[in-house]
């Protein structure tokens, strides 16, 4: 089934080339009540690239999805035009009285910046606390995992001496979770982060369960006891060339980046990398949509309906 997005969003034409069907909001087909409402808080600098990546994954769900893009503040992006933001993004004040089935909060290149120095930190705290009451299931990606663990569990920030960047092998640590259903026993995921997540503190100070991890990259996939909060410390949404673009960008900036691990063919940065993680990314997002967004939203609707009937019958 296709996803629905704002008319003229660049992703419509971009993903059409991949035979991925994206509908405009003006299409009447989405007036049916079973459509899922997904909010995406896009914190990535290259917002159009991120839109394409996440919409590609959402569009492969068998369910119908209505996507709303969200910006956290009025910051003017260096990589995305103000016209694009004004045309396709809403603000928190636009949606604070609404309810959504799912929320995705992307990563951000803020791994070395203290939370108190992040300009939109107070607004992100407000959003995270709001989301627990207004969103059925919340998916945090990379930097937003670190931020959410601080906001929701008061876990301190842990920073690596050297940036973790590359493609790493992972294994499932809990085989009967619906979120990892269909995963290979060993699967690949891109990472690009300075943060790390100590397992002992996670088990000691949170209600989170670790579902997948890597010998090299550490904790990868976590879920809260009530299944509402899902944390993904890597970047399964990345395109084949994304890490290459980040590497060459940092070279130009004089940051002397390390070559991403297990990424470039023959470790030659001039060669085009092959994508080895797309099947995992599709499974992860399909499982999230099917078992944690759709199923729980349906259960909540049924519960509210039954409670309404009970109240009406008791009058």
| Same domain flag for 109 and 210 | yes
What phi and psi, each to the nearest 5 degrees, are found at residue 287?
-65, -40
Residues with Cβ within 8 Å of residue 312, at least 6 apart in sequence: none
Q: Is residue 66 part of a domain?
A: yes
Rounded-to-integer distance, Cα 197 and Cα 147, Å = 12
Residues tagged in the binding site annotation for substrate: 163, 192, 249
Q: Is residue 174 part of a domain?
A: yes
The CATH number of whichever domain residue 156 belongs to comes to 3.40.50.880
Residues with Cβ within 8 Å of residue 201, at least 6 apart in sequence: 155
Q: Is the pLDDT of residue 265 over 70?
A: yes
Q: Assign 134 a pLDDT band (cuts: 50, 70, 90).
A: very high
| Same domain flag for 229 and 127 | yes
Residues tagged in the binding site annotation: 163, 192, 249
| Same domain flag for 130 and 258 | no
DSSP assignments along 29-65, one per residue: GGGSTT-EEEEEE---SSHHHHHHHHHHHHTTSSS-E
Q: Is the pLDDT of residue 24 over 70?
A: no
The reported pLDDT for the residue numbered 37 is 95
Higher pLDDT, 1 or 207: 207
| Same domain flag for 145 and 265 | no
Residue entry with tokens 């299931």: 137
The reported pLDDT for the residue numbered 238 is 98
What phi and psi, each to the nearest 5 degrees, are found at residue 39?
-105, 135
What global pTM score does this model have?
A: 0.87
Rounded-to-integer distance, Cα 122 and Cα 125, Å = 5
| Same domain flag for 252 and 159 | no
Q: Is the pLDDT of residue 29 over 50?
A: no
Q: Is residue 301 part of a domain?
A: no
Q: Is residue 91 part of a domain?
A: yes
141 bridge partner residues: 232
Residue entry with tokens 């660049």: 10
Residue 54 sits in which domain range? Answer: 3-239+277-296
The reported pLDDT for the residue numbered 301 is 45
The reported pLDDT for the residue numbered 212 is 98
Q: Is residue 285 part of a domain?
A: yes
| Same domain flag for 224 and 258 | no
Q: Is the pLDDT of residue 216 over 80?
A: yes
Mean pLDDT of 275-279: 96
From 8-12, 15-19, 175-179, the region with the lowest mean pLDDT: 15-19
| Same domain flag for 181 and 287 | yes
Catalytic amino acids? 142, 235, 237
The reported pLDDT for the residue numbered 299 is 59
Q: Is residue 47 part of a domain?
A: yes
Q: Is the pLDDT of residue 80 over 90?
A: no
| Same domain flag for 230 and 249 | no
Q: Is residue 308 part of a domain?
A: no
Which run of H or E residues covers position 144? helix 143-153
Q: Is residue 310 part of a domain?
A: no
The reported pLDDT for the residue numbered 140 is 98
pLDDT digits (tens, 9 = 90+) for 108-131: 999 999 999 999 999 999 999 999
Q: How many domains does the chain have?
A: 2
pLDDT digits (tens, 9 = 90+) for 94-110: 999 999 999 999 999 99
| Same domain flag for 65 and 194 | yes
| Same domain flag for 129 and 174 | yes
Residue entry with tokens 């509908």: 23
Q: Assign 213 a pLDDT band (cuts: 50, 70, 90).
A: very high
| Same domain flag for 209 and 257 | no
Q: Assign 300 a pLDDT band (cuts: 50, 70, 90).
A: low
| Same domain flag for 248 and 120 | no
Task: Rounding to the nearest 10 degrees, give the CA dihedral for residues 240, 246, 247, 249.
Answer: 130
């Amino acid at each position: 089934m296709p996803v629905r997005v704002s008319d003229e969003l660049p992703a419509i034409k971009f993903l059409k080339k991949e035979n991925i069907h994206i509908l405009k909001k003006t299409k009447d087909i989405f007036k049916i009540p079973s459509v899922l409402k997904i909010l995406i808080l896009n914190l990535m600098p290259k917002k159009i690239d991120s839109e394409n990546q996440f919409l590609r994954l959402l569009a492969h769900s068998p369910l119908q999805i209505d996507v709303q893009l969200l910006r956290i503040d009025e910051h003017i992006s260096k990589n995305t035009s103000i016209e694009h933001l004004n045309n396709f993004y809403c603000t928190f004040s636009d949606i604070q009285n609404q309810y959504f089935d799912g929320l995705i909060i992307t990563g951000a290149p803020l791994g070395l910046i203290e939370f108190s120095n992040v300009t939109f930190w107070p607004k992100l705290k407000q959003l995270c606390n709001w989301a627990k009451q207004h969103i059925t299931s919340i998916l945090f990606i990379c930097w937003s995992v670190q931020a959410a663990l601080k906001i929701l569990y008061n876990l301190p920030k842990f920073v690596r001496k050297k940036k973790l960047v590359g493609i790493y092998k992972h294994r499932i640590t809990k085989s009967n979770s619906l979120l990892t259903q269909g995963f290979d026993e060993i699967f690949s995921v891109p990472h690009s982060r300075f943060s790390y997540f100590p397992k002992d503190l996670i088990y000691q100070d949170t209600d989170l369960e670790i579902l997948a991890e890597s010998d090299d990259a550490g904790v990868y996939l976590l879920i809260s006891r009530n299944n509402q909060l899902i944390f993904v410390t890597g970047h399964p949404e990345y395109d084949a060339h994304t890490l290459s673009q980040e590497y060459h960008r940092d070279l130009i900036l004089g940051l002397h980046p390390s070559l991403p691990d297990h990424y470039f063919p023959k470790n030659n940065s001039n060669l085009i990398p092959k994508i080895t993680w797309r099947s995992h990314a599709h499974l992860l997002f399909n499982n999230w949509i099917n078992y944690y967004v759709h199923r729980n939203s349906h259960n909540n609707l049924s519960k509210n309906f039954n409670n309404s009937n009970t109240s009406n019958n008791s009058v």
